[in-house]
Amino acid sequence: MDLRFKISALKFLFLICIFSFPAFSIEPNDVNDPNAPIRATGNFWQDAKVFPKTAFSDAQKTYFNSNNLLLILMAGGGSIALHDSHADDKIADNFKDHRSLPHDLDNFTDIAGNPGIHFAATGIWYGIAAYKKDDLNIQRSWVMARALAVTGATTLILKGIVNNDTPNDKSWAWPSGHTASSFCVASVLDEFYGPKVGIPAYLLAGFVGYRMMDSGDHWASDVLFGGVLGYVVGHAVAGENKKLELAGFEILPLIAPHRGSATGIMLAKEF
């Protein structure tokens, strides 16, 4: 791992720890206003006026949740481990030697995973719903926009802090914005419509991540962290910061120091 990435990674972890220290003593509902998030009205200018404040509140409630924060920090640790062990280099070399996606499919996936496209589609969704005075879809598009905003802002901040290069020598590699945004969309859709929509959406998001590596646009570590970031933010915002669940099981961080300081996730359910 090159020195610049190592220093930047340590700087990122230091900043995260400093600014998120209160997360382990503050419950989600204690951050700012304990009331439910502001609902959209369907009036663009009125909603646009309160959007920044609402999205900022979403970010606080997401990152001031200890379980969410631990999962994100674990993903960050996994990213650094991939890069430090040179696994990133080996994976990137393998993709370089075995390109698998046709040109047209590569371009289509790049466009489909673009955060700008996600925002544009959400804006169209909101506009149609507002025109029809469809309150359910006004609220759903509003939530999607908030989740995408938190994911996008976090991604840009981290890219600026780490500032490492991609396998094909582009700047601002970590984390993958395409992957983060795609998993955010999938997570929100999963919250709204359940596994019938959520599972295909996750598969598509995973394919976007695969394309990012296949094209040389991102390291595996970029994709790993981006996927976890989008997943956590999407579920936290769309689920109003309820517990992360998979098939009815709560997703929790796992730290097992008695087994060689192993870390991971575990699934828990009360009967």
Contact criterion met (CB below 8 Å) for 124 and 199: no
CA Rg value for the chain: 19
262-268/249-256 β-pairing: antiparallel
Question: Residue 21 — pLDDT band, cuts 50, 70, 90?
Answer: very low
Q: Is the pLDDT of residue 26 over 60?
A: no
Q: What is the pLDDT of residues 141-161, one digit of tens each?
A: 999 999 999 999 999 999 999
Q: What is the mean pLDDT of residues 208-223?
A: 96
Q: What is the mean pLDDT of residues 179-205?
A: 96
CATH topology of domain 3-20+35-268: Vanadium-containing Chloroperoxidase; domain 1 (1.20.144)
| Coil, strand or helix at 246 | strand
What confidence score (pLDDT) does residue 22 get? 36
Q: What is the pLDDT of residues 82-138, one digit of tens each?
A: 988 889 999 999 999 988 899 999 999 999 999 999 999 999 999 999 999 999 999
Question: Residue 7 — pLDDT band, cuts 50, 70, 90?
Answer: very low
What confidence score (pLDDT) does residue 246 get? 54
Going from N- to C-terminal start, the domains of the chain cover 3-20+35-268
- What are the residues facing 256 on neighbouring strands? 262
What confidence score (pLDDT) does residue 83 get? 86
What confidence score (pLDDT) does residue 121 get? 97
> Picking from 3-12, 70-79, 160-169, 222-231, which range would have the lowest pLDDT averaged per residue?
3-12
Q: What is the mean pLDDT of residues 233-261?
A: 64
pTM of the model: 0.80
> Picking from 61-65, 144-148, 229-233, 244-248, which range would have the lowest pLDDT averaged per residue?
244-248
In DSSP notation, 142-175 reads HHHHHHHHHHHHHHHHHHHHH-PPPTTS-S--SS
Contact criterion met (CB below 8 Å) for 31 and 61: yes
